[in-house]
Amino acid sequence: MADVDVRLVNVTKKFGDQTAVDGITLDVSDGEFFTLLGPSGCGKTTTLRMIGGFEQPTSGLIELKGEDVTFLPAHERDVNTVFQSYALFPHLTIFENVAFGLRRSGIKGDEVTSRVGEALELVQLIGYEKRKPAQLSGGQAQRVALARALVNRPAVLLLDEPLGALDLKLRKQMGIELKRIQREVSITFIYVTHDQEEAMTMSDRIAVMNKGHYEQLAGPETLYERPTTRFVASFVGASNLLEGKIGSDGESWTVTLPSGDVVRAPKSLGDIGTGGAIGVRPEKLTLLEPGQESKGNRLDGTVVDTSYLGVLTQYTVEGAGGLRLLVSEQNVDRTTRSDTWRPGERVALTWKPEHGFVVGDSKSA
Amino acid sequence: MLRWLGRNALRAYTGLALVYLLLPIFIVALFSFNDPVGKTNYTWVGFTLSHWANLFAIPGLLDSVVVSLRIAFISTLAATTLGTLAALALVRYQFRGRPATSLFIFLPLATPEIILGASLLTLFVAIGQPPFFPLNEFTILIAHITFNISYVIVTVRARLSGFDRRLEEASADLGADGWQTFWRVTFPLILPGIAAASLLAFSLSIDDFVITNFTAGRTTTFPMFVWGSARVGVPPQVNAIGTIFFVVAVSAVAIGSFLQRRRA
C-alpha cells in the first residue's frame, strides 16, 4: 500500500445545532483517485472544504502527508482546489489566472512562462493565454480552473463537483480527460460528486456518504457487487431488496418474504445482522416460463411493464404480496425465448444465491 | 397621422425632458460670455470673452475655488478610505453593533442638511470655545467627511454584496495571504464601486452649501462666494467657473464609463 496522503480522524463539523459531518475517519493513499459520493446535503462538500482549509472542524484531526493541518489556514496548505463555479479571477487574463499560485510562491520570469505553458498544454488550451475568463465556454473555464490548480504541483488536488455545470456530453468527455490527467500528473485527487456514474468510471475508491458519514468505502466493483447497506444498494445502481423475516440455514442466510417464499444468500457475502435484507441486481435475474425447472432462488410473478432500451430490455415484475422487482435482460442470446416478455405474462424469476448481496442493519434511520 | 404620432411621441418626450434638464446649464454657460451693463447679469447684452480671459479678476473668487477644491479632495480621500473599510466590515463580518451601525449610516442621508449643519455647529461650539476649536476649513472637512462616509459605504456595499466570495477562497487556495488577496483580487474587483463612490463624494463636497455655511466660520468656499455675491449681482466669472466644473465632471464620468466598457 502506498503512503497515506490525507488522513481524517473522527472529523466532525457542526453548523449551529446541525451536524454536517459526523465523525469521519478515512485514509487517502498517495496517487489515488478518491471520490466522496452522496446526495446533496450529505456532508461531502463540507468534508472537502475542511481538507482545503475553508472550514475548520468542530472536532477531529486532519493530516496531510503526516503533518497535522487541522487549523492551518488555506493559503499555507499544499492542496489546491477546483471549485464547482470555477472561481476564475474575472479581471485577470487566462495566463495570469494560471500564474497566480506560482507568483504567490515567489516564482518569477521564465519559469512562470514555461510552467503556465505546460499546464495549459496539459488541458489543451494553448493559445488562450491572453483571453479573459468571460470569453471562455463552460468547458474551457473548467480546464483553466484545473490548470490553475495543477500548475502548483500540489500534494493533493480537491475537486468540488467540477463537471456539475457542464452538459452531459461534455461531462463524459471531461471525465475521461480528468482520469487521463490524473494518471499523467500522478497527484492524489479527492473528488466530490453526486453522480454515481461519474464516480464509478473515474475512481480508484469511493466513499458513499449519507447524512454526515460514509456508509461504505470500497472500489467501484465492490460497491456495485457487494453493497453492505440499503442506502448504498439503492444509491449506486439499481437494486431489488428483499425484506422479511431473517433466518439462518447452514451456510446461508434466509429471508422469509411476507408471501411465504424463502430466498437465500451465502453467509460469505456479509453479515445480515438483525434488520438486514438480501438484495439482487436487476441483471442477475433470469426470467423463465412458470413451468420451467430451475435451481437457486425462485419467485413467481407477473410482468407489469416492459421497456426496450436497445442494449437491454427492462422489466418490472410484480410478485406475490405486491413485491415489485426490476429485471434487465441483455438483448442478445436470450436464455429462454427470442421475444421480449409482455405485460400480463406469468413468469418465474430465478437467480443463483451467490449472485445476490447482503445488506446489514442500517446505520442511519 | 396617428401612427406617425405613435412613432415619434417618445422621441419628442425624450427631447423635451433633455431640454428641461439641460436648459438651465446652457443658460449658465451662455451668460459667462455676456457683457452685462452694471452688476446684474440677467439680460443678454453682447458677446465677450473677457470674463474667461480674466477668470480670477474678482477679489476672493480664486481663493474660494482653491478652498473648495482642497476640501473636496481631502474629504473624498478620507471618506472613500474609511467608507470602503467600513463597507467591507459590514458586509463581511458579524459583530456586535452591526445592525446599529447600518442604521447610523443612513442617518446622515436621511437627516435634512440644515439639521445636520446646525447640530455640527452646536457640537463644535460645545466641545471647545474658540480659540481651542475654531470654526475653519478643518471643521468644514470634518463635516464633509461625516456625510460623505455614508454615501461611500452605501455605494461600495452595493458592489460588495454581489461579490463572489469563492474568488477570495480561490486566492487563498493558491497561496495568497489576506493582504495579497485584498490587493490582487478584492480591490481590483470592487474598484469601479470605489471610483463611483469617490466621484459622488467629490461632487457632493464641492457644491455643498448648507452644512458648509454652518461650519465654516470665516472660511469662504466657492458656493458660499456665489451666495454672497448673489446679493449684489453674480459676476459672469462665476458662470465661467461653474461651466468649467460642469465640463470637468461630465468628462470624468464619460472617461470612467468608457474605460469600464473597454475593460469588460
**What is the pLDDT at residue A227?**
94
Residue the block writes with cell 487521463? A180
Contacts of A89 in chain B (CB under 8 A): 167, 170-171, 185
Contacts of A82 in chain B (CB under 8 A): none
Those residues with Cβ within 8 angstroms of residue A217's Cβ, 6 or more apart along the chain or in another chain: A26, A205, A206, A207, A208
Q: CB A74 to CB B173 under 8 A?
A: yes
Closest approach of A168 to chain B, Cα-based (Å): 25
Q: Judge whether residue A51 has pLDDT over 90.
A: yes
B167 touching A, CB under 8 A? yes
* Candidates B167, B180, B264; nearest CB to A87: B167
Q: Could you tell me the pLDDT band of residue B22, with boundaries at 50, 70 and 90?
A: very high
Instruction: State phi, psi for A14 to the nearest 5 degrees.
Output: -115, 135
With contact defined as beta carbons under 8 Å apart, do A263 and A206 qualify?
no
With contact defined as beta carbons under 8 Å apart, do B175 and A75 qualify?
yes
Q: Judge whether residue A302 has pLDDT over 50.
A: yes
Instruction: Please name the helix (run of DSSP H) or strand (run of DSSP E) that holds residue A116, with its range, or none.
Output: helix A109-122
Q: Judge whether residue A364 has pLDDT over 80.
A: no
Rounded CA separation B15/B8 (Å): 11
Instruction: State phi, psi for B138 to the nearest 5 degrees.
Output: -65, -45
Rounded CA separation B224/A330 (Å): 92
Q: Judge whether residue B152 has pLDDT over 70.
A: yes
Closest approach of B210 to chain A, Cα-based (Å): 41
In chain B, what percentage of residues exceed pLDDT 70?
Answer: 96
How many other C-beta atoms lie within 10 A of the C-beta of residue A5?
22
**Measuring CA to CA, which residue among A89, A66, A64 is closest to residue A74?**
A64
Q: Judge whether residue B86 has pLDDT over 60.
A: yes
Average pLDDT score over residue span B161-185: 92
Q: CB B175 to CB A152 under 8 A?
A: yes
Question: Mean pLDDT of all residues in chain A?
Answer: 90
**What is the pLDDT at residue B257?**
78
With contact defined as beta carbons under 8 Å apart, do A263 and A254 qualify?
yes
- ipTM confidence: 0.82
SS3 category, A90: coil
Instruction: State phi, psi for B221 to the nearest 5 degrees.
Output: -95, 170
With contact defined as beta carbons under 8 Å apart, do B58 and B235 qualify?
yes
Rounded CA separation A257/A246 (Å): 9
Q: Give the best-scoring range by mean pLDDT among A294-303, B69-78, B252-261.
A: B69-78
Average pLDDT score over residue span A99-128: 93
Average pLDDT score over residue span A44-51: 95
Residue in chain B nearest A134 by alpha carbon: B264
What sign results for the dihedral spanned by CA atoms A55, A56, A61, A63? positive
* Candidates A76, A89, A152; nearest CB to B167: A89
Contacts of A105 in chain B (CB under 8 A): 175
Q: Could you tell me the pLDDT band of residue A1, with boundaries at 50, 70 and 90?
A: very low
Best of B165, B166, B174 to disrupt the A interface (most A CBs within 10 Å) is B174
Side-chain-side CA neighbours of residue B232 (13 Å): 4
B97 touching A, CB under 8 A? no
**What is the pLDDT at residue B262?**
63
* Candidates B169, B175, B188; nearest CB to A91: B188
Q: What is the pLDDT of residues B108-118, one digit of tens each?
A: 888 999 999 99
Residue in chain A nearest B178 by alpha carbon: A75
Q: CB B170 to CB A91 under 8 A?
A: no
Contacts of A83 in chain B (CB under 8 A): 166, 169-170
Please state which CATH number belongs to domain B59-234. 1.10.3720.10
**What is the pLDDT at residue B106?**
87
**What is the pLDDT at residue A354?**
92
A79 touching B, CB under 8 A? yes
**What is the pLDDT at residue A254?**
92
Each as own residue / partner, the long-range contacts of residues B143-146 (CB below 8 Å, 24 or more positions apart, any chain) are B143/B116, B143/B117, B143/B211, B143/B212, B143/B214, B143/B215, B144/B71, B144/B72, B144/B75, B144/B79, B144/B204, B144/B205, B144/B208, B144/B211, B144/B212, B145/B75, B145/B78, B145/B79, B145/B82, B146/B108, B146/B116, B146/B120
Residue A53 Ramachandran class (φ > 0 left, ψ -120 to 50 alpha, else beta): left
Q: CB A75 to CB B173 under 8 A?
A: yes
**What is the pLDDT at residue A338?**
64
Average pLDDT score over residue span A282-296: 88
Residue the block writes with cell 441483471? A283
The C-alpha cell at A138 is 463552460
Contacts of A104 in chain B (CB under 8 A): 174-176, 180
Contacts of A101 in chain B (CB under 8 A): 174-175
**Model pTM score:** 0.81
Q: Could you tell me the pLDDT band of residue B179, with boundaries at 50, 70 and 90?
A: very high
* Candidates B174, B181, B188; nearest CB to A152: B174
Q: What is the pLDDT of residues B29-71, one digit of tens each?
A: 999 998 887 777 878 888 888 888 888 888 888 999 999 999 9
Domain ranges of chain B: 59-234
The amino acid present at B101, given as its one-letter code, is T
Contacts of B183 in chain A (CB under 8 A): none
The 3-class SS string of B209-242 reads: CHHHHHHCCCCCCHHHHHHHHHCCCCCHHHHHHH
CA A320 to chain centroid, in Å, comes to 34
Those residues with Cβ within 8 angstroms of residue A51's Cβ, 6 or more apart along the chain or in another chain: A6, A8, A62, A64, A79, A156, A158, A190
**What is the pLDDT at residue A166?**
84
Q: Judge whether residue A84 has pLDDT over 50.
A: yes
Residue in chain B nearest A148 by alpha carbon: B174
Average pLDDT score over residue span A242-262: 90
Average pLDDT score over residue span B8-22: 92
Rounded CA separation B116/B129 (Å): 20
CA B209 to chain centroid, in Å, comes to 12
Q: Could you tell me the pLDDT band of residue A217, with boundaries at 50, 70 and 90?
A: very high
How many other C-beta atoms lie within 10 A of the C-beta of residue B3?
7
Question: Mean pLDDT of all residues in chain B?
Answer: 88
